[in-house]
Amino acid sequence: MAKKTEKHHRLSRRIFLQSSLSAGAGLFIRPARQTILDQNYQSGSAATSERSLYLDPTKPAKDRVDDLVSQMTLDEKIAQMGSHAPAIDRLGVPAYNWWNEALHGIGRAGIATVFPQAIGLASTWNVDLIHRMASAISDEGRAKHHEALRKGIHDIYTGLTFWSPNINIFRDPRWGRGQETYGEDPYLTGQIGLRFVRGLQGDDPNYLKLVATPKHFAAHSGPEAVRHSFNAVVSPTDLQMTYLPAFKTCITEGKAFSIMGAYNRLNGEACCASPTLLGKILREEWGFEGYVVADCGALSDIYQNHFVVKTAAEAAALAVLNGCDLDCCGEFRIPCTYPDLKDAVEQGLLTEADIERSVKRLFTARFRLGMFDPPETVPYAQIPYSVVDSPEHRALALEVAQQSLVLLKNQDQLLPLDKSKLRSIAVIGPNADNTLVLTGNYMGTPSEPVSVLAGIKALVEPDTEVRYARGCAILDGAKNGFAEAVDAATNAQIAIMVMGLSQQVEGEEGQMEGNPPGISSLGDRKLTLNIPPVQQALLEAVYATGTPIVLVLINGSMVAINWADEHISAILEAWYPGQAGGTAVANALFGAYNPGGRLPVTFYRSTKDLPKFENYQMENRTYRYFSGDPLYAFGYGLSYTTFAYHGLAITPNKIASGDSVEVQVEVENTGRLAGDEVVQLYLQDVEASSPIPRLQLKGFTRIHLAPGEKQAVQFTITPEHMSFADAEGKWQLEAGSFVVWVGGRQPVLSSDSQPANVLRGEFVLA
């Protein structure tokens, strides 16, 4: 047995060293580390010494982490708690930068496949597609990481820990970062986020593919300008029913191994040092075992802007004691707070054991990523660099972009356009020949992005004249391009106007990413939900020519296009559609693809319909509470074909507490074209003893049907779906009547008559 064990260790050492240098293992081998390995795996040392236990891949991860951390000094431990963790050469620990981005593709790391912005991903309402996309993203992330290691690079945007997805609730359309989220609904956000997390982290029983980091925990959705000092006042009911559910889903079901705290305070507690969020809810109630990272610079906010404590040492101690393990800082002049942990220990504010707890969580992640193991034992270390921007991933980017498109209006079936009958087309607008606007923010660099103009030119008949006129800029009020645009429309059979927003109009505080050089984002849209005035004027000028118009919107949040809804025949929402956006839009306009996306947000008519932006109470916000008349409702979207619903069955129609309800419906394509239908189930509790949402999405699925094809769709309504959080934030399951709505859109609760594609049923909880 001893000889067999010795042979195993010799083989492990040889594989580890050879593979690390040739194939790019998760750990770049330094000379000092080679010496350590030589010492630990000498002939006759089959039973490794205590010092080398952390290098032995046959040992449990917990034991290896305990062994490694036990050999670190206090200074070394503290240094590992910054996002740019330095090497510890004497232990063979390489430098590691924890900061990486993958919001809708590998971001900020050169060429990568760029998928639609997150709000567009939500518009697909297709969880299987999102999982496939996230798996492709994680393939590229792994490939880029190992390529960087082969070159000896350990910099920002080369690691395996990704600060995505953003699952904050898009509670108010004025928020500039709402584009990064999956919309306004907790259930939709949770289901999309769940598949994204699973796709990033993989399904290997021993290793994580990447680490996913849902953010920003919690109740974080503007205003951007005051996010470093803002206190979000949230009721226990709203916290439990709106702001936390998606995080809970991603942590408890998705097993996300990391989570990022928010800049703001929540009910007076700094989110990155909150005993309620990080202790009571995250670790005690949800059983979270991973690590918490602070948003970048958020720990300095604790004492400099929130004034929760007076000094950096106190802020650092408060954060660590309440469960925040990693300080994002150092890059881009972001201030660091955790270096002051040494002073905090000396002042008796916390102990070295408290610091060690956080360091162990961090190294558990690195061990589970396979960073200290032979690459042959880590399945994801073998992913070739050729997956980056591969033909398969390009095709997937087009598929996701197409499924994200939402047809908002199609009067007199103007769409799809018959390209065989078109001899002249005018393509007009500031977003028409713009590839930068396709990519949103937190993006990678697409190798061959396709603008809407390019997509149209590639698809029309060779003898069709395509006349392009920019008309105006995104925001600049100059109208000197109007005449050219009007002339192009006057001499065309159809005008395709590509308008909307950009990162200049909406974005993160101070953001320059996604903008032309020297231009930074305005952040939130504080004054109006309309498209910029100069674009509205251009739209009306072209409309006056009498040429039919198709309006294509490129944006990351809803726009109040009230005039366009009244005057323009066809409107297509494309969001920020990623590298293949132009091809996707052209395919939809000319019938090569039948759009089937649905809105993940409500399109309001005006800011007058909304409470104050700073108010975090959910009353009259989102479709779940809004009592007004929206321009386009959450869940809305048209198709070039039609669908009918038959035979809604709810069994049983009377249940006891703790039982579930099965719902079945048949969906039929009654039109002449194949198409996708998003079947949506909404639940209405009509007898709750506390104020609750008027309506809640509790099930959805996207299906594809050929003309005349039928498909049975099933849903399960669980006791959790029927429950609500009371005024104290405690979940209650009460007896009473429930109404179930199933269809291709929301029901209209303010009317006795419903759309033909929405069916109603009931059941009773006794």
Mean pLDDT across the stretch 261-279? 98
In whole angstroms, give the CA distance from residue 31 to residue 44.
23
Q: Looking at the structure, do residues 329 and 432 belong to the same domain, yes or no?
A: no
Above 90 in pLDDT, residue 81?
yes
Mean pLDDT across the stretch 160-186? 98
The pLDDT value given to residue 46: 36
Among 387, 409, 435, identify where a domain stops: 387
The SS3 call for residue 336 is coil
Q: Looking at the structure, do residues 272 and 400 belong to the same domain, yes or no?
A: no
DSSP 8-class letter at 389: T
In whole angstroms, give the CA distance from residue 560 to residue 316.
44
The residue annotated as part of the active site, out of 172, 295, 340, 509, is 295
What range does the domain containing 182 cover?
75-387
Structural domain contains residue 630: no
What would the pLDDT profile of 339-387 be if each residue is shown by its tens digit?
Answer: 999 999 999 999 999 999 999 999 999 999 999 999 999 999 999 999 9
Beta pairing partners, 101: 107
What would the pLDDT profile of 249-266 be if each residue is shown by its tens digit?
Answer: 999 999 999 999 999 999
Q: Looking at the structure, do residues 359 and 302 belong to the same domain, yes or no?
A: yes
CATH number of residue 467's parent domain: 3.40.50.1700
Domain count of the fold of the chain? 4
End-to-end CA distance of the chain: 65
Structural domain contains residue 66: no
Mean pLDDT across the stretch 583-600? 99
751 band by pLDDT with thresholds 50, 70 and 90: confident
The two three-digit tokens of residue 672, written as one number: 């002449």
Q: Looking at the structure, do residues 105 and 234 belong to the same domain, yes or no?
A: yes
Instruction: Judge whether 295 counts as a catalytic residue.
Output: yes
Above 50 in pLDDT, residue 415?
yes
In whole angstroms, give the CA distance from residue 230 to residue 239.
17
The two three-digit tokens of residue 138, written as one number: 């994680």
11 band by pLDDT with thresholds 50, 70 and 90: very low
E-assigned strands of 373-476? Answer: 406-410, 424-428, 465-469
Structural domain contains residue 428: yes
The SS3 call for residue 266 is strand
181 band by pLDDT with thresholds 50, 70 and 90: very high
Q: Looking at the structure, do residues 8 and 25 belong to the same domain, yes or no?
A: yes
Share the mean pLDDT of the chain.
Answer: 94
The pLDDT value given to residue 753: 82
φ/ψ bin of 464: left (φ > 0), alpha (ψ from -120 to 50), beta (otherwise): beta
What would the pLDDT profile of 59-72 be if each residue is shown by its tens digit?
Answer: 999 999 999 999 99
Q: Looking at the structure, do residues 369 and 401 belong to the same domain, yes or no?
A: no
The pLDDT value given to residue 15: 30
Structural domain contains residue 638: no
Q: Looking at the structure, do residues 83 and 217 belong to the same domain, yes or no?
A: yes
Q: What are the φ/ψ torsions at residue 570 (nearest 5 degrees)?
A: -135, 135
DSSP 8-class letter at 166: B
Above 60 in pLDDT, residue 17?
no
Structural domain contains residue 484: yes
Q: Looking at the structure, do residues 576 and 447 belong to the same domain, yes or no?
A: yes
Above 60 in pLDDT, residue 177?
yes
Structural domain contains residue 69: no
- Can you list the alpha helix ranges (DSSP code H) found in 622-708? 622-625
Q: What are the φ/ψ torsions at residue 356 (nearest 5 degrees)?
A: -60, -35
Angle among Cα 595, 624, 638 to the nearest 5 degrees reads: 15
Instruction: Judge whether 659 counts as a catalytic residue.
Output: no
Structural domain contains residue 59: no
The two three-digit tokens of residue 743, written as one number: 């269809």
Q: Looking at the structure, do residues 558 and 668 belong to the same domain, yes or no?
A: no
What would the pLDDT profile of 522-575 be if each residue is shown by its tens digit?
Answer: 999 999 999 999 999 999 999 999 999 999 999 999 999 999 999 999 999 999
In whole angstroms, give the CA distance from residue 740 to residue 714.
13
What would the pLDDT profile of 654-699 be if each residue is shown by its tens digit?
Answer: 999 999 999 999 999 999 999 999 999 999 999 999 999 999 999 9
Q: Looking at the structure, do residues 217 and 343 belong to the same domain, yes or no?
A: yes
Residue 44 CB neighbours (<10 A): 7
The residue annotated as part of the active site, out of 399, 506, 508, 677, is 506
Q: Looking at the structure, do residues 235 and 260 belong to the same domain, yes or no?
A: yes
The two three-digit tokens of residue 337, written as one number: 């707070």
CATH number of residue 235's parent domain: 3.20.20.300
The pLDDT value given to residue 51: 59
E-assigned strands of 587-634? Answer: none
The two three-digit tokens of residue 267, written as one number: 């009910």
Structural domain contains residue 61: no
The two three-digit tokens of residue 20, written as one number: 């690390």
Are residues 502 and 556 in contact, defined by beta-carbon separation less than 8 angstroms? no
Q: What are the φ/ψ torsions at residue 221 (nearest 5 degrees)?
A: -160, 50
